[in-house]
A and B are shown apart, each in its own frame.
Chain A
Amino acid sequence: MRWSEVAAYVGGALLCSLFVLAQADSALGSTNAIEDFAASLTPPDQSLWAAGRVRDYQVAQQTKMQAVAVLTVPSLKLQVPVFGSDDELSLNRGAGLVAGMGTPDGGGNVGIAGHRDGFFRVLKDIKVGDLIEVRTRLKLHRYRVSSIDIVDAADKRLLTDTELPSVTLVTCYPFYYLGNAPQRYIVAATYEWPSDT
């Protein structure tokens, strides 16, 4: 066997292994983040814990990569953890809040980004009027899809702040494209007020 043959086998196997590992991290990381988030909604009874153990538990909770919310689109059967950042690791394990935009509990236009070849690929089937739910530790927020747009990757108009709470889901477009997709798929949804329902 020649050296070029060996190098191609090794390189190909390494790259494919990297892909498989990333996929496994995505699936496990997402599931664990949703389970951790659900557990955090009902924190354990620490009344009998030693003070040091309570401190250690709090430190462990803070250092863990924890989801700040869980995004659900019932019509698409999509449930994905939302992390506080839209960096590569966060987007591999779920969706991420877009820096500089609103937050689900704080209001404004909440930007949530996800990979088009991952959790957000199902967004290709979302429709105007579909329900979007964002569960934080404080509240379940409901939004209704108001528009779906495909814009240039440099067009940030749909990410501007809004007076009333809203959510904007962002992913790349076309959904099936090798390399950096030239466009963005933007799903905008407006808040459903509990007092109106």
Chain B
Amino acid sequence: MRRSTYLSIIGVTAVLGGVAAPALAADCATAQFSEAVLARFPNIRAVCTDVIEKDGQQYAVVKGDLVRTGNNAVYMKFNMADGTKSDTRKIETRPEFRVKVDGKPVSVRNLAVGQQLTAYVKVSDPVIALEPAEPTESLASYPIQDAAPAMAASNVEMPHTASALPGVASLGALLLAFAGMLTFLRVRRQS
């Protein structure tokens, strides 16, 4: 085979590879998020760090800080591409579901605020799932909820931080001083 034939084969292969590549793998900029996903999560491209394929579906990878834990849910703020944080997002889950924190499996009930978690947003449907501890585990996806900070109702009472002990000690000292004065008066009267 002549050198020109070799070059032709290499060229055709390169062109075909270049055409086929975008169809096989997408990135955050090119992922075809559905209208429903964009409606529920308008800043998904800004928080997306990667696009992966799992169980034949594309998922956008989002990372962020855990800001609150709740009953069967966690609340996260995702890292934006510009270094800021997203609005707070609630992600439903189960207390016994295990996620990966610093490379170690941790059940949701043992999570603490300040930890960094990873979640997956399905490109074609408005659902989100926490990254499971083991890559082989299937995702537990739940509908993406509207951004909303979790705030508890305020029915708090101001704590009683006044101790009775200084009063007790003062009264005791006064009684002892009074007793001493009585003794002094009695002794003086007798002498």
Contacts and interface: CB of A to CB of B under 8 A. Distances in A.
B158 A105 contact: no
Contacts of A92: 163, 165
Interface in A30-80: none
Interface in B133-188: 149-163, 165-179, 182-183, 186
A15 to B, nearest CB: 3
Given A13-B172, A113-B159, A160-B154, A107 B166 contact: no
Interface class of chain B by DSSP = mixed
A116 to B, nearest CB: 6
B167 to A, nearest CB: 6
B179 A9 contact: yes
Nearest to A96: B159
B169 A107 contact: no
B158 A117 contact: no
A22 B67 CA distance: 39
Contacts of B112: 104-105, 136, 138-139, 141
Given A18-B172, A111-B159, A163-B149, A195 B79 contact: yes
Contact of A178 (B152, B170, B177): B170
Nearest to A185: B161
B49 interface: no
- Bin the interface of chain B by size: 35 or more
- Contact residues on A (Cβ < 8 Å of other chain), bracket: 35 or more
B68 A100 contact: no
B163 A5 contact: no
Interface string A102-119: 101111100101111110
Contacts of B151: 108, 161-163
Contacts of B67: 107, 163-165
Contact of B161 (A11, A172, A179): A172
Contacts of A138: 110-112
Given A12-B179, A115-B161, A160-B156, 4 more contacts: A23-B165, A86-B159, A141-B113, A181-B162
